Amino acid sequence: MRFAAPNLIVPSLWGALFFLAISGPVSAREIIDATGTHVQVVDHPNRIVTLVPSLGELASDFLGLDLQRIVGVSESTDYPPALKKVESVGQYQRLSLEKILSLKPDLVLATEDGNFKDQINHLRELGVPVVVLSTQTFSEIEDSMKKVALALGESDESKKLIARFEQGIADLRARGAKRQAKKKILLELDDDPLVVVGGKSFLNEAIALVGAENVYGDSSSGYPRPSHEDVMKKNPDMVLVATFGESANEPLYLQRAQSWARYPDLKAVQTRQVKVIYGNPLLRPSMRLLEGLALLEKAIYGNS
């Protein structure tokens, strides 16, 4: 019995030492992400991996010249151009977990609506800190900007950027609210099959923000695939074909816009209101969205 006490003391001392060693000088913060998960993120993440193009852009907005902290991006992340040279971790819905893990990230940024839940969970199970963001509405976009800024450990400069963004949105909203005759818009994202912007997308809010109306705004899906018959019935005042490329002048998109001439009964066709719109700044919710919204406003209402 005399030996019982030391037998307990020694392991507990080791235990205490071990506890001190792991809990020691904690340089991590806790971030509650869009899925309600508490994620431990180091103070100054230096090995950042972004899993959708828009988050690559948003992280770059906050990092400024510190871009080398981004070590991995999803395929087709092309803005800012420096990110084209960063290693790819695969398409946003078919990520290579091997690649991500081998980059030893200290912060992974993902989206709830873009990336697959199972792959996110898998990364988390492997101990990778993944901050998931949601960007289905403008308030979620503003919230995701704050969360990304927080996760990156950037404060003053990013606060200014976010304030500028919020101000820009407020200005656009005020201008949009004054529009008397709201144009009915169809925003086309793909044509075979036809994919348009529905109700559950921030782009629906974007159309409303600039003072127009989305003909598929009542759709319960984010990106519905209506039949052309249904489009005839909705009869939009204007069809906007969004590009997924470098510029608005690629022949592919011009052809797509021209192909609407097959439906001469459409009001948009009769009034020559089928236009191509440069999609990249509009479709990716980052700081560039202000620029994209300005393009949208200009495409719908001109310079007035």
Partner 1 sequence: METRKVFRPYVIAIGCWVLSFILALKLGSVSDVDFSVVTALRLPRAILATAVGMALAIAGASLQALFSNPLCEPYTLGISSGSALGAVIGFSLGLQWMVSGLALTAFIGAIIFMGILYFFSRRTDTGSGNLSLLLIGVMLGFLGSSMVALCLAVTDSQGLQGIMSWLLGDLSRARLAGSSLSLVSVLLLSFAVWNHRKDLDALLMGEETAVTLGVNVNHARRRIIFLSAMLIAVSVSAAGMIGFVGLVVPHFVRKMVGSLHQKMIPLCAIWGATVLVLADMAARVVARPFELPVGAVTAVIGAPFCLWVIARRRTVE
Binding site for partner 1 (CB under 8 A): 88-91, 93-94, 96-99, 101-102, 104, 116-119, 122, 125-126, 221
β-strands 107-111, 48-50 pairing: parallel
Nearest to 141 by CA among 202, 187, 189, 200: 202
> Residue 99 CB, nearest distance to partner 1 (Å)?
5
- Residue closer to partner 1, measured from CB, 62 or 216: 216
- Residue closer to partner 1, measured from CB, 89 or 241: 89
> Residue 98 CB, nearest distance to partner 1 (Å)?
5
Which segments of the chain does DSSP mark as H helices, in order?
Answer: 4-23, 53-63, 97-102, 117-125, 138-152, 156-177, 202-209, 228-234, 251-258, 267-270, 280-283, 289-301
- Residue closer to partner 1, measured from CB, 113 or 213: 113
Q: Report the first-to-last Cα separation within the chain, whole angstroms.
A: 92
DSSP 90: E
Nearest to 285 by CA among 168, 214, 202: 202
Q: Classify the phi-psi angles of 4: left when phi > 0, otherwise alpha if psi is within -120 to 50, otherwise beta.
A: alpha
- Residue closer to partner 1, measured from CB, 119 or 273: 119
> Residue 90 CB, nearest distance to partner 1 (Å)?
6
- Residue closer to partner 1, measured from CB, 136 or 280: 136
- Residue closer to partner 1, measured from CB, 93 or 259: 93
Judging by beta carbons within 10 Å of its beta carbon (0-12, 13-18, 19+), is residue 178 exposed, middle or buried?
A: exposed
> Residue 293 CB, nearest distance to partner 1 (Å)?
26
Q: Which amino acid belongs to residue 26?
A: V
> Residue 304 CB, nearest distance to partner 1 (Å)?
39
